[in-house]
Amino acid sequence: MDIGQEFLAVARRRLVAVAMAAIGVGVPHGAALAEQSADLIYRNGFIYTSDAHRSIQQAVAVVAGRFTFVGNEAGAAKLIGPNTVVVDLHGRMLMPGLVDGHQHPLSGGHSLLGCDLHYARLTQEQFAGAIQKCLDETRSEEPNGWLEVHNWFQEAMIGGAVMTKGVLDQLNTQRPIFVLSSFGHTALANSRALAIAHIDAHSPQPRGGHIEHNAAGNPTGLLQDAAFAPVQAAIRPPTHAQDVVAAQAALTALNAQGVTTFLDAAADLRTISAFSDVQKGGQLSARAHFAVLIRPQEASDPARAVAAAHHLAQQFDQGALQATPAITVHNIKLFLDGVITAPAMTGSMIEPYRANVGTAASPRWVSGTNRGPAPYFSPDALHEILLLAASYGLQPHFHADGDGAVRAALDATQILRRSYSSELIRVAIAHDEIVDRKDFSRFAEVGAIPVLSMQWEKPAPDTVDGAKDYLGPARYRYMEPAAFLADAGARIAFGSDWPVDPLNEWFALKVGVTRTNSADAGPKYHGRLSQDRGLTRRQVLQAATINAAYELHEDTQIGSIEVGKLADMIVLDRNVMRIPAEQIADVRVLRTIVGGRTVYQSGDL
């Protein structure tokens, strides 16, 4: 056993010992951990436990932030003491708190507070008008203050309008402007912003990104992935105090959705520090996990990159979970490509995207030559980074949108398994929008967890206008292959990717079941997406609870309602298992409880 394996084995034994001590070896499900009065009891409910038996119970009891009883009314009644708080659910559904296995909460918090295009379908004129409104509202920032614009749904521009710096240059301002697409892989900058970042016709193409040029060879203002890093570097970042406010705003929004645990899937010192200070102020209301970002540019020195991630883990990780929410840092994040949809088409593909050699009015689609970029990390670099990270106990979390990137992640995981089992190192591959059929079964074979953003599994501007013709029918029939992967044995986990999309967990879970958009999306986007059958209700609830907890290596502590586990749970206004599937999108959270403490409530139970 090498040093890394020994480190992980010791850590694993410690966590198992903690879990066994908490739950008591041999305590049957539905029995009390100890015959003592409870601090808190929820009774008379439809309690979806998300346990291995998918059992439905009537009542739970909590002592010191952990479940000490899960079972029937009679059993719970025996645990009522003089100081027990008893909540009558009146038949309402109670379930584990949602575990969001992939999001970007600090960015989400800032988008709630800043200039926001709200993911809207816009004409060029509406796009320009919305940004001009933000400029007019912040005139005190003229002439040098940056304007950052959030949540531009680039793929939904009406008429397929392609934005360039010229649209921004015509606005009534002298300020540098940076517009980030909601997918987070494309940005638009005006001429002043490009000049400040020293991006011109002579700038080399960066590793892991692309500068778009016009016919004359000049930058158009559109920048893909690593290409907009110089612009972001030129922007004065928010102050730490502003980050803390954004983190607080994010937590408030997450708790209202029923999220009790999240993974920040591209973290750095700044993001972790913000949530750490929220915790120090006693306001951390969800269990905060962080995947430290390792950028493609850092692949030239893997040892240094992994050591920096390990240093952040040593600095901030607070160990095994307790009742009170804390900071966990035991993941790394690696982007392998961009996004599969047009106009970006930066997803790494096995076969080329198709190209229109006809006209817009009379299209003729043929196989093109553009496969998107090669995976942003070479196989050798990935292998070295994963082995080094595993030696520190760090779990890899990949971004892989195209089937080429997915295959690269699976190949790297397969090599990793020669040294580390899936029990020791849990590999997550996020998004997986296009997966080659040959790779469906490989997720289970190599122990990789697909973390799916289910709200994408519907007809919409990005999945229809920006994908159908470009992918072609052979690939499009498998787009967003959630059930195909599940049927091949993969353990599906959920991650919203907020703020890539609006924070609407219940709409996402509804789409995971129905594969349909909302009724008001318009006729073009009615019907179901691709030939994937969709997941069952139980599968989507498992994905957003125990499976996402497994992804985060926390399934012994959270993710299901079982004796000995932490009392993270939510009360809903309707029963997800019994309402028409389309109505899952309308679910509202009445109460969110973390470690036995209510962190959000709407109305009186």
Mean pLDDT of 303-316: 98
Lowest model confidence (mean pLDDT) among 178-192, 279-293, 438-452, 467-481:
178-192
Q: Is residue 372 assigned to a domain? A: no
Q: Is residue 506 assigned to a domain? A: no
Mean pLDDT of 52-61: 96
134 in helix, strand or coil? helix
**Higher confidence at residue 235 or residue 208?**
235
61 and 128 fall within a common domain: no
Q: Under a CB-based contact definition with an 8 Å cutoff, are residues 479 and 434 in contact?
A: yes
184 and 127 fall within a common domain: yes
Among 172, 205, 234, residue at a domain's last position: 234
DSSP character at residue 39: S
Q: Give me the CATH number covering residue 182.
A: 3.10.310.70
Mean pLDDT of 472-500: 97
228 and 124 fall within a common domain: yes
Residue-wise pLDDT tens digits, 129-141: 999 999 999 999 9
85 in helix, strand or coil? strand
Residue 11 has pLDDT above 90, yes or no: no
Q: What is the DSSP string of 400-439?
A: E-SHHHHHHHHHHHHHHTTTS-TTTS-EEEEE--S--GGG
220 and 111 fall within a common domain: yes
Can you read off the two tokens belonging to residue 170? 């015509």
Residue 183 has pLDDT above 90, yes or no: no
Residue 340: half-sphere exposure toward Cβ, Cα within 13 Å: 35
Query: Whole-angstrom Cα distance, residue 365 to residue 349?
Result: 17
Lowest model confidence (mean pLDDT) among 48-52, 109-113, 153-157, 503-507:
153-157
Band (36; pLDDT cuts 50, 70, 90): confident
Interstrand relation of 209-213 and 219-225 (parallel, antiparallel or unpaired):
antiparallel
147 and 82 fall within a common domain: no
202 and 121 fall within a common domain: yes
Per-residue model confidence (pLDDT) at position 32 = 53
Band (344; pLDDT cuts 50, 70, 90): confident
Helix, strand, coil abundance in the chain, percent, nearest 5? 35, 20, 40
Per-residue model confidence (pLDDT) at position 35 = 64
Per-residue model confidence (pLDDT) at position 604 = 73
Please report, rounded to a whole number, the percentage of residues in the chain having pLDDT higher than 70: 94
Among 234, 262, 277, residue at a domain's last position: 234
Among 234, 260, 293, residue at a domain's last position: 234
Question: How many CB atoms within 10 Å of residue 120?
Answer: 14
Per-residue model confidence (pLDDT) at position 33 = 54
Per-residue model confidence (pLDDT) at position 26 = 33
Residue 1 has pLDDT above 80, yes or no: no
Q: Is residue 89 assigned to a domain? A: yes
119 and 48 fall within a common domain: no
339 in helix, strand or coil? coil
* Distance, CA of 21 to chain centre: 32
138 and 227 fall within a common domain: yes
**Dihedral sign of CA atoms 385, 386, 390, 394 in order:** positive
Residue 191 has pLDDT above 60, yes or no: yes
Can you read off the two tokens belonging to residue 258? 């029923």
Question: How many CB atoms within 10 Å of residue 364?
Answer: 9
Q: Is residue 36 assigned to a domain? A: yes
Burial tier of 356 (Cβ tally within 10 Å: 0-12, 13-18, 19+): middle
Band (25; pLDDT cuts 50, 70, 90): very low
Per-residue model confidence (pLDDT) at position 12 = 47
120 and 211 fall within a common domain: yes
Query: Whole-angstrom Cα distance, residue 459 to residue 525?
Result: 5
Query: Whole-angstrom Cα distance, residue 319 to residue 183?
Result: 32
Residue 2 has pLDDT above 60, yes or no: no
Q: What is the DSSP string of 224-263?
A: EEGGGHHHHHHSPPPPHHHHHHHHHHHHHHHHHHTEEEEE
Residue-wise pLDDT tens digits, 373-390: 999 999 999 999 999 999
Please report, rounded to a whole number, the percentage of residues in the chain having pLDDT higher than 90: 86
Query: Whole-angstrom Cα distance, residue 334 to residue 167?
Result: 33
Can you read off the two tokens belonging to residue 387? 């082995």
Q: How far lies 173's CA from each of 129, 134, 136, 139, 192, in Å? A: 13, 11, 9, 9, 10
Q: Give me the CATH number covering residue 86.
A: 2.30.40.10
Per-residue model confidence (pLDDT) at position 277 = 98
Residue 124 has pLDDT above 80, yes or no: yes
Per-residue model confidence (pLDDT) at position 378 = 96
Query: Whole-angstrom Cα distance, residue 66 to residue 557?
Result: 9
Residue 15 has pLDDT above 50, yes or no: no
Q: How far lies 400's CA from each of 164, 285, 467, in Å? A: 27, 30, 16
Query: Whole-angstrom Cα distance, residue 278 to residue 28?
Result: 38
Alpha helices in 140-239 (DSSP H): 165-169, 191-196, 229-234
10 and 112 fall within a common domain: no
Q: Is residue 576 assigned to a domain? A: yes
Q: Which residues contact 140 (CB under 8 A, 6 or more apart)?
A: none
Q: How far lies 410's CA from each of 130, 403, 530, in Å? A: 42, 10, 23
Q: Is residue 212 assigned to a domain? A: yes
Query: Whole-angstrom Cα distance, residue 536 to residue 581?
Result: 10
Residue 409 has pLDDT above 80, yes or no: yes
Burial tier of 578 (Cβ tally within 10 Å: 0-12, 13-18, 19+): exposed
230 and 116 fall within a common domain: yes
Average pLDDT over all residues of the chain: 93
Domain membership of residue 227 as a residue range: 106-234
**Single pTM value for the model:** 0.87
Q: Is residue 495 assigned to a domain? A: no
Residue 186 has pLDDT above 80, yes or no: yes
Picking from 459, 460, 513, the residue whose alpha carbon sits closest to that of residue 483 is 513
Radius of gyration of the CA atoms of the chain, in A:
24
Per-residue model confidence (pLDDT) at position 24 = 40
Per-residue model confidence (pLDDT) at position 4 = 46
Q: Is residue 468 assigned to a domain? A: no
Q: What is the DSSP string of 174-188?
A: -S-EEEEETTSSEEE
Q: What is the DSSP string of 511-554?
A: HHHH-B--GGG-GGG-SB-SS-----HHHHHHHTTHHHHHHTT-
74 and 119 fall within a common domain: no
- How many independent structural domains does the chain possess? 2
Q: Under a CB-based contact definition with an 8 Å cutoff, are residues 412 and 376 in contact?
A: no
Per-residue model confidence (pLDDT) at position 27 = 40
